[in-house]
């Protein structure tokens, strides 16, 4: 006969497994959404975007963020008309700015970087 402790452990473990599965599905959905956003705003080939998606994890590590955040930031800059290479560099810079600033979200850092870039362009 199973003790109450064994029963609870089995019950908790079952729900832990379900929650891990839900988290994995959520993560896959987030990566798919980021990839879809990049495809919407880019003329890049699927293989080129896949290569960038794989490289984004190393880029994220180098600036103290996640690969997913780099992908999402890159899509934002691509939406502004930047090429994949330009957007990748802008995303990297926005994430560095976010890490060293008092901004509460990456979106605030991105907006600030865009405003600074536009101001610099107007002055030049």
Q: Is the pLDDT of residue 72 over 70?
A: yes
Buried b (16+ CB within 10 A) or exposed e, 28-63: eeebeebbebbeebbebeeeebeebbeebeebbeeb
pLDDT band per the 50, 70, 90 thresholds, residue 96: very high
Q: In terms of Cα–Cα distance, which of 54, 56, 88 is closest to 74?
A: 88
CB 49 within 8 A of CB 85: no
Q: What residue segments make up the domains of the chain, in order of their start?
A: 4-123
- Nearest residue to 80 (alpha-carbon basis) of 66, 62, 94: 94
Give me the mean pLDDT over the 79-94 stretch.
93
Summarised one tens digit per residue, pLDDT across range 50-61 is 999 999 999 999
């Amino acid at each position: 006969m199973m003790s109450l402790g064994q029963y609870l452990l089995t019950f908790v473990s079952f729900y832990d497994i379900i929650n891990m599965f839900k988290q994995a599905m959520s993560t896959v959905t987030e990566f798919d959404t980021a990839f879809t956003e990049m495809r919407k705003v880019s003329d890049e080939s699927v293989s080129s975007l896949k290569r960038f998606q794989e490289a984004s994890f190393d880029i994220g590590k180098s600036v103290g963020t996640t690969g997913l955040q780099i992908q999402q930031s890159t899509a934002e800059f691509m939406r502004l008309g930047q090429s994949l290479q330009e957007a990748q560099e802008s995303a990297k810079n926005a994430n560095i700015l976010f890490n060293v600033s008092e901004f509460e979200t990456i979106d605030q850092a991105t907006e600030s970087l865009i405003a600074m870039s536009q101001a610099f362009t107007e002055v030049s």
